[in-house]
Amino acid sequence: MKLVYLDNAASTKISSGVLEKMMESYSENYGNPSSTHKLGQKARAAIETARSMIAGYIGVESKEIIFTSGGAEGNNLAIRGALNAYSSKGKHIITSKIEHSTVLKTCQQLENEGYEVTYIDVDENGVINLEQLKNSIRKDTVIVSIMYANNETGVKQPIEEIGQILENTDIIFHTDAVQAMCKEKIFPKDLKIGAMTVTAHKFYGPKGAGFVYLDKKFQVEKEIWGGSQERNRRAGTENLQGILGLGTAMEEAYENMDKIEAMEEEIHEYLERRLKNEIEDIKINGEKSPRLKTITNLCLKGCDIQTLLIALDLRGICVSGGSACMSGAHEDSHVLKEMGLNSEELKSSFRISIGKDTTIEEIDYFVENLKEIAKIERGI
Ligand SMILES: *Cc1c(COP(=O)(O)O)cnc(C)c1O
């Protein structure tokens, strides 16, 4: 059966080069990186090579990279770890209303634990209110966490401006860069980002591997206790193969970035042009904002998304009704709700996310099927 995968924002297929690198390590380089013998040293060397390569791509120092199990752990470590390290400064956090659940739920839990959180609004285009952010800063604000690009709409946030606002303060500027990493070059130092979360499985690496960049002028209290790995910021035997996979995935993305970006941009434009030209009564959520060229959040008025997703799935098309973390619950998207969509529009919106391997033929197959299904659902 035909399979068209248009859910790359949820996860990507591991690249063959990454898989090869990992397999080789599983069979030949399997020591514990903390062991002092030959195999231990070999594992340690491989990890440190990956670390310095990754640091090089984003223009930071090796010691500023903390390997984690991915985005959820990274966001928890950056936010909770910072709050614990700077508990004497205060208990105030600033974030936005459209963050990924790994930030939002963490903040909600922190409120239960006695922290205070200010949630910044977004406008109808999905961009946060910078004035409100500026006015929310307090003496006891420890961390500001605003995502680089949204996982449901692809809308990019004004990261440079936030960095400038926070530049001469002692507040940590954290960004969840999970969706944007490897889609464009990100230099956290230039953007005055103090902490940044990344996960490999969003750019053709393995699941369960990622890193936090943490500016060396900041500290985090570890969330996972035990050994003194990762400069005493994350205990546990390093996920050697995951880290090598992450490094290779970044290498592949950075070596081919211009080419992939151009291809994705072409496919993305083609997709949105066909949708707008050939289907009536549609809206692309966040269209007016700067967006990643891989995500289209489509509102198909008069269509119920749950039915639509099933119909597409039966035709071998994988898309998503928002973020993967929410899709099981059939909840309305908090992101689109904050952008002011009404309840009917919320029930009619879903996410298409292309990847480096998406072809024009696949987009054609998707659009043709979507047109048919929309006709049936709209009863025309
Ligand atoms: C996928 C995602 C995460 C979670 O990353 P995991 O590695 O799956 O835990 C966090 N933030 C954003 C924006 C994401 O898209």
Residue 199 has pLDDT above 90, yes or no: yes
Q: Looking at the whole model, is its pTM more than 0.95?
A: yes
Q: Which atom of ligand 1 is nearest to the CA of 325?
A: 1
Instruction: Give the whole-angstrom CA distance, residue 308 versus residue 314.
Output: 10
Number of Cβ within 10 Å of residue 260's Cβ equals: 20
Sheet holding 282-284, edge to edge: 282-284, 295-300, 349-353
199 lines ligand 1 (CB under 6 A): yes
Element holding 369 (H helix, E strand): helix 360-378
Q: Name which residue sits closest to atom 5 of ligand 1, judged by CA.
A: 71
- Ligand 1 mean position, distance from CA 208 (Å): 10
Q: Which atom of ligand 1 is nearest to the CA of 72?
A: 9
Q: What is the mean pLDDT of the chain?
A: 96
In the prediction, which pLDDT does 324 show?
A: 61
- Ligand 1 mean position, distance from CA 39 (Å): 33
Q: State the helix-helix crossing angle for 257-278 and 360-378, rounded to 10 degrees.
A: 30
206 lines ligand 1 (CB under 6 A): no
Residues with Cβ within 8 Å of 227's Cβ and at least 6 positions away in sequence, in order, are 34, 235, 236, 237
- Ligand 1 mean position, distance from CA 72 (Å): 6
Q: Are 243 and 47 in contact (CB under 8 A)?
A: yes
Where in the chain are the domains? Answer: 4-12+256-378, 16-255
252 lines ligand 1 (CB under 6 A): no
- Ligand 1 mean position, distance from CA 277 (Å): 33
Q: Name which residue sits closest to atom 3 of ligand 1, judged by CA.
A: 71
Give the number of residues written for the chain: 380
Instruction: Give the mean pLDDT of 72-99.
Output: 98
Percent of the chain with pLDDT over 90: 96
248 lines ligand 1 (CB under 6 A): no
Helices (H), 188-256: 229-232, 240-255
72 lines ligand 1 (CB under 6 A): yes
3-class DSSP assignment, residue 160: helix
Enter the tokens of residue 366.
């998707």
Of the candidates 135, 187, 127, 126, the residue with the CA atom closest to the CA atom of residue 158: 127
Q: Which fold has domain 16-255?
A: Aspartate Aminotransferase; domain 2 (3.40.640)
Look at phi and psi of residue 340 and say left if phi exceeds 0, alpha if psi is from -120 to 50, else beta: left
Query: Mutation test of ligand 1: which of 11, 95, 102, 148 has the most ligand atoms closer than 8 Å to its C-beta?
Result: 102
Q: Which atom of ligand 1 is nearest to the CA of 200?
A: 7
In the prediction, which pLDDT does 329 show?
A: 53
Q: Which atom of ligand 1 is nearest to the CA of 70?
A: 7
With tokens 């049936």, the residue in question is 376
3-class DSSP assignment, residue 351: strand
* pLDDT 10s digits, 128-176: 999 999 999 999 999 999 999 999 999 999 999 999 999 999 999 999 9
* pLDDT 10s digits, 102-120: 999 999 999 999 999 999 9
Q: Are the folds of 4-12+256-378 and 16-255 the same? A: no
In the prediction, which pLDDT does 323 show?
A: 67
Number of Cβ within 10 Å of residue 370's Cβ equals: 25
With tokens 């899709």, the residue in question is 327
Q: Which DSSP state fits 88?
A: T
Q: Name which residue sits closest to atom 8 of ligand 1, judged by CA.
A: 71
What are the angstrom distances between the C-alpha of 69 and each of 116, 222, 233? 27, 14, 13
Q: Which CATH number fits domain 4-12+256-378: 1.10.287.110, 3.40.50.720, 3.10.28.10, 3.90.1150.10?
A: 3.90.1150.10
Active site members: 325
Number of Cβ within 10 Å of residue 245's Cβ equals: 30
Q: Name which residue sits closest to atom 14 of ligand 1, judged by CA.
A: 178
Instruction: Give the mean pLDDT of 58-64.
Output: 98
Strands 141-145 and 172-176: parallel
Residue 326 has pLDDT above 60, yes or no: no
- Ligand 1 mean position, distance from CA 35 (Å): 32
